[in-house]
Amino acid sequence: MNRENWQLWQKPRKRMHEARLLRYGLAVILPLAASWFVFIRPTFTEAPYFIFLVAVVLSVINGGLAPAAVSAALSAVLLRLLFVGPKGGLHFGRDFEGMERMGVFVLLALMLSSLVAGVRRERNQLRDSEERYRLLAESASDAIIVIDELGEILYLNAAAEKTFGTSAGALLCRNLNLLLSGDRYQAQLTELKQRLDTRKRPVAVKLPGRHQSGEAILIEMTLGSSCHRGRNIFTAIIRDITTPTR
């Protein structure tokens, strides 16, 4: 392996190492910062647990469960040394009440960390899934338009902008009828939705379209339905068939 390839191979490892140091560094710094905050706020001296729980939650949000466990353990030690029971020592084997409090604190901190980590993981998975679908839609050659039950446009991809000669900003939250022409398109769309409900699978229809330049186009629309947060959402895949493909 030459020097250049070695450096390329080492860069991702270096970034991962730096990110790990940052996560665990913050897991240590946050309990120390919580201690300082409790010291400067005497009202929290009698019950500092909440401040240290906030430090643990921030650790799990920043780095995950492993840094949160480090933060919880360090928080328990600092709580016991500085704020709970006799100051200045852990007194293993003699101070059962203090050690019991620390055990309850660590258990509560880990349970809260697990809950926050689960929510964080689900949100990341949802964001990644949405990003994948968006990339897929943006790379499609056919126009893709998402509408609600009333025909209001919720999303359109770059191919839709090109097909109808307009921008997404000019069409979002506007009605789909801006892109269609003729007198029968509303009746055709109603019929299409009825067929869609009956067949439970995507159906297609040919409709006259309206290019922003004023030129009449003929489009083939395939409509599919789904339910999102209790609302019926329709996805229209549109192809310009004005000029047959040869």
Q: Six-digit token pair at 89?
A: 């020592």
**pLDDT at residue 175 is higher than 70:** yes
Identify the pLDDT of residue 17: 54
Count how many Cα atoms sit within 13 Å of the Cα of residue 78 in the half-sphere of its side chain. 26
Residue 232 has pLDDT above 60, yes or no: yes
71: its two tokens: 């933060």
Any idea where the domains of the chain sit in the sequence?
3-133, 140-240
Residue 159 near residue 144, CB atoms below 8 Å:
yes
Whole-angstrom distance, CA of residue 137 vs CA of residue 156: 9
Q: What percent of the chain has pLDDT over 70?
A: 72
Give the mean model confidence (pLDDT) for residues 107-134.
83
224 vs 35: which has the higher pLDDT: 35
Q: Round to whole Å and give the CA distance between 112 and 72.
A: 11
More confident residue, 99 or 217: 217
- Return the closest-CA partner of residue 169 out of 213, 212, 116, 215: 212
What is the value of pTM for the model shown? Answer: 0.54
What integer pLDDT is reported at residue 7 of this predicted model? 45
Number of neighbouring beta carbons within 10 Å of residue 246:
3
Does pLDDT of 245 surpass 70? Answer: no
- Least confident range from 33-42, 117-126, 164-173, 193-202: namely 193-202
Q: Which residue has the tokens 């067929």?
A: 195
Is the CATH number of domain 140-240 3.90.245.10? no
Count the alpha carbons within 13 Å of 106 in the hemisphere toward its beta carbon.
17
Q: Are the beta carbons of 211 and 222 closer than 8 angstroms?
A: no
Each residue of 123-163: pLDDT tens digit?
Answer: 888 788 778 888 888 888 889 988 887 788 888 898 988 88
Contacts of 91 (CB under 8 A, 6+ apart): 85, 98
Residue pLDDT, tens place only, 16-56: 556 778 888 888 899 899 888 888 877 766 678 888 888 88
The pLDDT, as a whole number, for residue 206 is 80
Q: Which helix (H) or strand (E) holds 112?
A: helix 96-139
**Band (2; pLDDT cuts 50, 70, 90):** very low
Q: Are 234 and 221 in contact (CB under 8 A)?
A: no
Residue 77's pLDDT band, with cuts at 50, 70 and 90, is confident
